[in-house]
Amino acid sequence: MSQPDATRPRLSRRALLRTSAAMPAWKFFIATFGCKVNQYESQSLREAWQKLGGVECDAPGEADVLCVNSCAITAKGERDARNAVFRLRREAPAARLILTGCAARLFADFRPRPGAVWAEPDLLVPQEDKSRLLRGPWPEESIPAFPAAPAFPPFQINAFRRARPVLKVQDGCAHRCTYCIVPLTRGKPRSRAPQEVLDEARRLLRAGYAELMLSGVNLRQYGRDVPGYGDFWDLLRFLDENLAPEFAGRARLRISSLEPSQLGGRGLETLTACRLLCPHLHISLQHASLAVLKRMGRGHYTAAMLEEAVAALTAHWPRIGLGADILVGFPGETDEDLRLLLELIERLPLSYAHVFPYSRRPGTAADAFAGHLPQAVKLKRAALTREAVARRHQRFLRDQLDLPGMLVAADASKHVPPEAEREAPEIGDGPGVWCKGVNEFYAPCLFRAPAAGAAGQPDALTGLLAARPVRVTEKGLLVELKKNEA
């Protein structure tokens, strides 16, 4: 391992736990990559380590313990994890460096080019063992282990660094899409007990959070490991029935990702019956071409299923936010396949999409497929797809200008660059601070909130803020808070 010389000895578990006046509390830094489930798990580690006497710091160079919570969904994600290890080792050579998450298992098999500058973590904790870190950053010592899989990992949270907490309800996946490495890194599906989900949701809502995102690795597989839990729709109804009497009109739920195959009779009935649910869906679509979907191992649904479901939902939700995950440049994808995708984007009321060029992943079935496309072709097709999505996004924002009002959940990161003044200097009277948030349709919103105190900080932006749309900007939707609602 090539790395700078340490300027101070690395601290042992005993040293980190020492609480004498001569030694301050130990400091830690967590770098999180990837999905919302990872964000949730990092928050759980943060809270657990704080209870053990750890103090989080913003600068890696100040930390005694560094943790990289990694992602491996793409080759770039895996590379980002390796780069983070190198960067953090350079910034804090004496700190204890831990690599966990989905890229940790892959890191052990990676071999750098001869002569490449290289750094390694002090400890590799694969995803299936990540929950052991809840007992502290020393799992190789005699720390009682939590139950092994298939039990649901015992992560839990009481707060969140962002304004809209993620609430993890499911982990793992057994579907094995031909392009995806997640089943190898996250393991088999595991479901969280409905009562535990309800208790955490109620705890977060009572703490003042106005929006929760129900998240999992594959929500379609919720309950398959414990049939008594029901499926995801049973969980959603259970949450709504128990939370709506207290929080309807004051808070809301959002779903992280669904598949078109889930939007059948029961799914549509549940979506339209829930009182706390946002009129917004994010769909793991991937493609419109059935031939491509079948090669991806996703032949259990079609694009037509999604179109039919959206048509049915708009009878209940006249306006809907619709996002999607799209994968282009898959082996064997033709110009005709791309045309089908672009035409679907034009037909759907799509509000945004996460577009990825196919990333070759060793260990997946698609890696051995014939017909891999040149990188330049994949990037060009991704660019064309993003352009089509951008046009739909602008149409989606313009269509909201005729709404009489909307409810905005403010971001925890409240400040917006001063150039926002040029967008609408007439918005708001008196001193104010420009802020960001999202409305119920998941449209990005820019608004001005009254400032309070000498520091010019905004008033507490809690709850759902009533607003009216003003105009579309490059950053999203400019809105004005209604009087007495800031």
Q: What pLDDT tens digit does each residue of the chain (486 aa) get?
A: 334 334 444 555 545 544 333 345 899 999 999 899 999 999 999 999 999 999 999 999 999 999 999 998 888 888 898 899 999 999 999 999 999 999 888 887 776 667 666 788 999 998 988 999 999 997 655 444 444 555 888 999 999 988 899 999 999 999 989 999 888 888 899 999 999 999 999 999 999 999 999 999 999 999 999 999 999 999 999 999 999 999 999 999 999 999 999 999 999 999 999 999 999 999 999 999 999 999 999 999 999 999 999 999 998 999 999 999 999 999 999 999 999 999 999 999 999 999 999 999 888 999 999 999 999 999 999 999 999 999 999 999 999 999 999 999 998 655 565 555 555 555 555 556 788 999 999 999 999 887 654 444 444 577 899 999 999 998 899 999 997 644
Which residue, 91, 90, 78, 81, is CA-closest to 31?
81
Residue 486: what pLDDT? 44
Q: Are 437 and 346 in contact (CB under 8 A)?
A: no
Phi-psi region for residue 399, left (φ > 0), alpha (ψ -120 to 50) or beta? alpha
Rounded CA-CA distance 447/463 in Å is 15
Q: What are phi and psi for residue 111, nearest 5 degrees?
A: -125, 115
- The segment(s) of the chain belonging to CATH 3.30.750.210 are 159-278
Which residue, 193, 237, 190, is CA-closest to 218?
190
Q: In which order are the strands placed within the sheet that holds 211-215?
A: 166-168, 211-215, 252-255
Structure tokens at 391: 């046009």
Q: Give the tens place of pLDDT for each residue, 118-172.
A: 788 999 998 988 999 999 997 655 444 444 555 888 999 999 988 899 999 999 9
Residue 145: what pLDDT? 46
Q: Are 29 and 49 in contact (CB under 8 A)?
A: no
Instruction: Tell me how crowded residue 473 is: count the other CB atoms within 10 A of its CB.
Output: 15
CATH of domain 159-278: 3.30.750.210
Residue for token pair 């520091």 = 455
Residue 456: what pLDDT? 46
Beta bridge partners of 325: 284, 354
Q: Are 190 and 170 in contact (CB under 8 A)?
A: yes
Q: Are 157 and 43 in contact (CB under 8 A)?
A: yes
The set of residues, in sequence order, having a beta carbon less than 8 Å from that of 192 and lying 6+ positions away, is 152, 168, 169, 170, 171
Rounded CA-CA distance 37/33 in Å is 10
Q: Are 476 and 467 in contact (CB under 8 A)?
A: no
Q: Are 471 and 401 in contact (CB under 8 A)?
A: yes
Q: In which order are the strands placed within the sheet that holds 123-126?
A: 55-56, 27-32, 65-70, 96-101, 123-126
Residue 115: what pLDDT? 64
Rounded CA-CA distance 389/344 in Å is 10
Residue 142: Cβ-neighbour burial (10 angstroms; 0-12, 13-18, 19+): exposed
Instruction: Determine the length of the chain.
Output: 486
Question: CA-based angle 371:377:383, to the nearest 5?
Answer: 135
Rounded CA-CA distance 45/51 in Å is 10
Residue 20: what pLDDT? 33
pTM of the model: 0.88
Q: What is the DSSP letter of 218?
A: -
Locate all alpha helices (DSSP H) within 121-225, ordered by sequence.
182-186, 194-206
Residue 116: what pLDDT? 65
First-to-last alpha carbon distance for the chain, in angstroms, is: 54
Classify 98 as helix, strand or coil. strand
Rounded CA-CA distance 486/481 in Å is 6
CATH of domain 288-298+316-402: 3.30.750.200
Rounded CA-CA distance 316/367 in Å is 43
Residue 79: what pLDDT? 87
- The segment(s) of the chain belonging to CATH 3.40.50.2300 are 13-135
CATH of domain 13-135: 3.40.50.2300
Classify 39 as helix, strand or coil. helix
Classify 469 as helix, strand or coil. strand
Q: What are phi and psi for residue 121, nearest 5 degrees?
A: -75, 160
- The segment(s) of the chain belonging to CATH 3.30.750.200 are 288-298+316-402
